[in-house]
Amino acid sequence: MLINNKSIAIIGGGPAGLTLARLLQLKNADVKVYERDFNEHARVQGSPLDMHEDSGLAALRKAGLLEEFKKTFRPGADKTLIMNEQAKILFSDHEAKPEEDFGAEHFRPEIDRGPLRKMLLQSLKPETVVWNSHFISMEPQNEGWLLHFKNGTSMYADIVIASDGANSKIRPYLTDNQPVYSGIIMLEGNVTKENAPNINTLINGGKIMAFGNSKNILMGQKGNGDLGFYASFKADETWAIDSGLNFSDNTMILQWFKTKYPEWDKIWYELFENALPPFIPRPIYFMPLDQPWKTMSNSTLIGDAAHVMPPFAGEGANMAMLDALELSEHLTDHTYNTLKEAISKYELKMHKRAAKAIKESFENGERMHSDTALSTMLDFFNGHILS
């Protein structure tokens, strides 16, 4: 096996990095994950993830974790309401949703990021993850790399795999490619169910997607009952600075919402009035579709480090975990003569499917922020139910 007697460093302990570590350890590889979080108890941010049969779930199945996932996922969390700006429900699958059916084409079970991370961490050998390891730089040494971290430590690895997200510090060692702004801002907020009782009654453990006047509110309920929500709209890339908003001031953000979303019903106000500050403005980026780079024999990229994509097709985490699955298979494939050949085959395959997912996600984002967003999304969801 090409990675026999090779030390592998994975930079970043998100779903992709931890999945890759698990898959490689099943092949008896020497793997360390270097994660910037201080420890495993650091708060995991972000909305729940929906796992897709041919990507995220395929990786978990190969990792021997599907049965554990079935104990951990949130049944019913994929229930969806489509609403207009007046909070009128125009589509609901709460009653028509089929039984939880792993293997079904449109079944996308949801899991909170925290439980997913815990499940993956528990599957790894002790001390696989080196916490408080904020990557700073690396330099060639022998046939591998000497890694330097903010805490003052340095470690050698024969192979370095970047799983350090959209702002990857390892990407520049492989390519000059940079993410491109999509034109969309998502203003993230979180509120407890007690402080948003009207919305909590509507969402009923699932998701809400509301469309009106080329703007959205998108939200999902987390395992602890909190509501994670996003006000999503078209704006300049520098909106967060140019707006002059204090994102820790709920009164100011509520007034902004009333101004930016003037046609929207007052029911939405409780989200902004009672959110747990601060709000987080998230400009949405994507990688250019033509993004191959010159393959290296001792380093590659997975997940957002390789292919940042908008979140409007639910493919980001799934593509990242599929990267982990495919890279693990290529690195342990006996038919390749060199590591460079194995990595090259992975990258070619990854670029092709990532470009397709990025295109789909970008086009969905355009549809969801168009004048016809509501009718388009209703047609899409009604088509899924009819099929």
* 254-306 pLDDT per residue, tens: 999 999 999 999 999 999 999 999 999 999 999 987 778 999 999 999 999 99
Range 180-286: architecture per CATH: 2-Layer Sandwich (3.30)
231 forms beta bridges with 187, 217
Report whether pLDDT(387) > 50: no
In eight-state DSSP terms, residue 194 is: G
The confidence score (pLDDT) of residue 384 equals 59
Query: Quick one: tokens of 109?
Result: 């079970």
3-state secondary structure of 361: helix
Q: What is the pTM assigned to this prediction?
A: 0.93
Q: Are 163 and 12 within 8 A, CB to CB?
A: yes
The confidence score (pLDDT) of residue 105 equals 66
Specify the higher pLDDT residue, 89 or 291. Answer: 89
Rounded to whole angstroms, the Cα distance separating 163 from 304 reads 7
**Short-list 257, 259, 279, 287, CA closest to 269:** 257
3-state secondary structure of 124: coil
**Average per-residue pLDDT for the chain:** 93
Beta-strand runs (E) in the chain: 7-11, 30-34, 49-50, 80-84, 89-92, 110-111, 129-130, 135-141, 144-149, 154-157, 159-162, 180-191, 207-212, 215-221, 227-234, 280-286, 299-301
CATH (residue range 7-50+123-178+288-365): 3.50.50.60
Q: Which amino acid does the sequence have at 287?
A: M
3-state secondary structure of 219: strand
Rg (C-alpha) for the chain, rounded Å, is 21
pLDDT, tens digit, 9 for 90 and up, residues 141-178: 999 999 999 999 999 999 999 999 999 999 999 999 89
The confidence score (pLDDT) of residue 102 equals 77
3-state secondary structure of 349: helix
Residue with tokens 């106000």: 269
Query: Quick one: tokens of 61?
Result: 């199945």
The confidence score (pLDDT) of residue 75 equals 86
Least confident of 90-94, 163-167, 316-320, 339-343: 90-94
Pairing verdict, β 30-34 and 7-11 = parallel
- Per-residue pLDDT band at 45 (split at 50, 70, 90): low
Phi, psi of 137, deg, nearest 5: -165, 170
Report whether pLDDT(248) > 50: yes
Q: Quick one: angle between helices 339-368 and 373-386, nearest 10? A: 120
pLDDT, tens digit, 9 for 90 and up, residues 109-127: 999 999 999 999 999 999 9
Sequence spans of domains, the chain? 7-50+123-178+288-365, 180-286
Query: Quick one: tokens of 19?
Result: 């999945």
Percent of the chain with pLDDT over 70: 96
**Short-list 74, 42, 4, CA closest to 332:** 4
Report whether pLDDT(235) > 90: yes
Check whether 113 is labelled as a binding-site residue.
Answer: yes
CA 333 vs. chain centroid, Å, equals: 28
Rounded to whole angstroms, the Cα distance separating 313 from 53 reads 14
Q: DSSP characters for 249-285?
A: -HHHHHHHHHHHSTTS-GGGHHHHHH--SPPEEEEEE
The confidence score (pLDDT) of residue 386 equals 38
Rounded to whole angstroms, the Cα distance separating 359 from 287 reads 10
> What residues have CB less than 8 Å from 55, skipping those under 6 apart?
315, 318, 319, 321, 322
Query: Quick one: tokens of 168?
Result: 């990857």
Report whether pLDDT(376) > 70: yes
In eight-state DSSP terms, residue 87 is: -
Percent of the chain with pLDDT over 90: 84
Check whether 50 is labelled as a binding-site residue.
Answer: yes
Check whether 43 is labelled as a binding-site residue.
Answer: yes
Check whether 353 is labelled as a binding-site residue.
Answer: no
Q: Are 377 and 211 within 8 A, CB to CB?
A: yes
